[in-house]
Amino acid sequence: MQQQRKKIVTKVASALAGVAAIAGGILVAHSQAMPDRIKFPEGFEKGVLYQTVNRADIKQFRELYTSKSSVDAVRSGKDAPSGTVLTLVQYAAKTDDKGVPVRGADGNFVKGNVVGYAVMEKRAGWGATIPAAWRNGDWEYAAFMGDKTPNQKANANTKGCFDCHLPHAGQDFVISLAGLKGTALGAAQRPSGPGTVAVAEFLFGPEKVSVKAGQTITWTNIDSSPHQVTLQASSEFRSPVMLKGQSTSIQFNNEGTYGYICGLHPGMKGEIVVTK
């Protein structure tokens, strides 16, 4: 065990040698301390199931849990209190013989095996040990395998977790905050017509849109999962996170081809072609 841990730490240290100047020993110390800091949240399922997600992009069904006291605090307008644990359970979605996820009567994907758990825990003071460049307040991250043992590989590089949640600083780094608050919007209408793109089932539709310079494209999110238009132009541009029913518009003034992805689900891709 001791030896195994030493090996992992060495590997992290060398893989991240390039950023050592900024992060220094802190990063290694953090990775090393990581698996001990967050324990598997036994009994999480006795808390509140505050959101489910059909992850069509990776064929998973997800359940998000936290304690009643944390839900109550957030719903009364406070930040998630110290001691809050958010548990995300990842199930493989059952698929038909064509590999398409099967849906139950409620419209959700049907659960297969648990493939892993992702956990966020917040404790006063924890943020101080995380390099300021990617700190998420006092949140810490950990991943567990389907059998609840630590996911060593993911835990050796939790920087990836911090990086992806960092743009959500405005909502306490909790991407599913609307679900936690109970403010997620209801039914959303699929938009149609020129210059509109629907974001549904983890796809941009149509995936490719052509417009004349000066025109505006409007994206509307139909999914209960949040999405975000992220243009990969000369400098990255991220739209606000769109909850169900929300829209975002971008005016394209310059000719060219603009590839974009979802900032939350990088596997989602689209393209805008702007002509004269």
Query: CB of 196: closest distance to ligand HEC in angstroms?
Result: 23
Contact partner at residue 219 from Cu ion, ligand HEC, none, CB < 5 to 8 Å by partner kind: none
Q: How far apart are CA 191 and CA 183, in angstroms?
A: 22
Contact partner at residue 174 from ligand HEC, Cu ion, none, CB < 5 to 8 Å by partner kind: ligand HEC
Query: CB of 21: closest distance to ligand HEC in angstroms?
Result: 24
Query: CB of 134: closest distance to ligand HEC in angstroms?
Result: 12
Contact 61, 111 (CB under 8 A): yes
Residues that bind ligand HEC (CB under 6 A): 53, 55, 62, 64, 86, 88, 118-120, 141-143, 154, 158, 160-161, 164-165, 174-176, 225, 264-266
What are φ and ψ of residue 211, in 5° steps?
-140, 165
Contacts of 230 (CB under 8 A, 6+ apart): 236, 237, 238, 239, 260, 261, 262, 263
Task: Give the nearer residue to ligand HEC in terms of CB position, either 160 or 256.
Answer: 160
| Sole binder of Cu ion in the list 86, 156, 188, 264 (CB under 5 A) | 264
Contact 66, 48 (CB under 8 A): yes
Stretch that binds Cu ion, among 164-172, 229-237, 248-256, 259-267 (CB under 5 A): 259-267
Query: CB of 132: closest distance to ligand HEC in angstroms?
Result: 19
Instruction: Say how many C-beta atoms besides its own lie within 10 A of residue 19's C-beta.
Output: 14
Distances in Å between the Cα of 200 and the Cα atoms of 70, 184, 214, 224, 226 are 30, 16, 26, 9, 10
Residues 208-227 that bind Cu ion (CB under 5 A): 227
Give SS3 for 95. Answer: strand
Mind giving me the DSSP string for 68-85?
HHHHHHHHTTPPPPTT-E
Task: Give the nearer residue to ligand HEC in terms of CB position, either 156 or 217.
Answer: 156
Contact partner at residue 196 from Cu ion, ligand HEC, none, CB < 5 to 8 Å by partner kind: none
Task: Give the nearer residue to ligand HEC in terms of CB position, either 48 or 164.
Answer: 164
Contact partner at residue 227 from ligand HEC, Cu ion, none, CB < 5 to 8 Å by partner kind: Cu ion
Q: Closest Cα to residue 108, out of 51, 161, 155, 150?
A: 51
Does 262 contact Cu ion by CB under 5 A? Answer: yes
Does 55 contact Cu ion by CB under 5 A? Answer: no
Amino acid at 216: T
Q: H/E element holding 160?
A: helix 159-165
Stretch that binds Cu ion, among 32-40, 108-116, 134-142, 257-265 (CB under 5 A): 257-265
Q: Where on the chain is the footprint of Cu ion (CB under 5 A)?
A: 227, 262, 264-265
